[in-house]
Amino acid sequence: MSKTLLITGGASGIGAATARLAATRGYQVAINYRSRDAQAKKVVADIIAKGGKAMALPADMAREADIVRMFQETEKALGPVTHLVNSAGFSQRTRVDEYDAALLEKFFAVNVIGLMLCCREAARRMSTKHGGKGGAIVNVSSMASTIGGRIGSSAYAATKGAVDSFTKGFAREVAPEGIRVNSLRPGMVMSEMTEGRLKDAAFRTSIEASIPMRRVGEVHEMAGAILYLLSDEASFITGAMLDAAGGGYII
């Protein structure tokens, strides 16, 4: 059976690294993006140049209609979705006393509700209850969920805590129906989301001093962990949280 992997937020960072690695392991890859059109098409071109099969498709994770269309277009072009990685996310540092409702709604619309709707669409296709043949899902969470995030990241951490809790519950629901669902919790990783701050030498030094391995992670390391959780090597693992964070935090 062909393996079709849909990756949300696949144009950059962990999502793009996962797309490239998955293609080398025989997956057909659908790369979702919201605004990074050129980057998404570059990832697709790189995969095709190496003999793989990939496509890019825009969709906003805050819009239910976009999510439904994304699954439909993936199926039309590549066949049934057998694997899903929810990597799309929104992050903005803000103190609690600076919150406004619109910002919080955006956090949860993208990081939680959009992810849950993607899982809904995947379950409707993968579950043996609905005539599917099973599948595997990885939700990209964060180590922020374990301690409430670094200072200024409490809203982001709250969404990732929701992702972890949902992952556990969803995994139990669909385990008898052939679907495995796990969460990857990266620590600080060098990516488009973090590179601006990590270019500050003092900030990077302080961050690395807080990590037991004394360094930030790389996107290829996260991709490897995701591909393991998607693979048959992890066939008895579901409802798990895998911390990929260099040992977590030194507090």
Domains of the chain: 3-190+218-244 (3.40.50.720)
CB of 124 closer than 8 Å to CB of 130: yes
With 70 as the cut, is the pLDDT of residue 1 above it? no
Alpha-helical segments (H) within the chain: 13-24, 37-49, 64-78, 101-108, 115-126, 144-147, 154-174, 195-198, 201-209, 219-230
Catalytic residue among 27, 33, 156, 249: 156
Residue in 64, 11, 15, 66 with CA at minimum distance from that of residue 36:
11
Q: Which of 175, 196, 91, 95 has the alpha carbon at shortest distance from 129? A: 175
pLDDT higher than threshold 80 for residue 197: no
Mean pLDDT of 190-194: 73
What digits encode the pLDDT tens for the residues 126-144?
999 999 999 999 999 999 9
Active-site residue flag, 27: no
Residue 12 has pLDDT above 90, yes or no: yes
The mean of the pLDDT values for the chain is 95
Weakest mean pLDDT among 27-36, 95-104, 127-136, 200-209: 200-209
**Which pLDDT belongs to residue 233?**
98
| C-beta of residue 103 within 8 angstroms of C-beta of residue 62 | no
CA distances from 163 to 58, 108, 157, 193 (A): 23, 10, 10, 19
Query: What confidence category does residue 190 fall into, taking pLDDT thresholds of 50, 70 and 90?
Result: confident
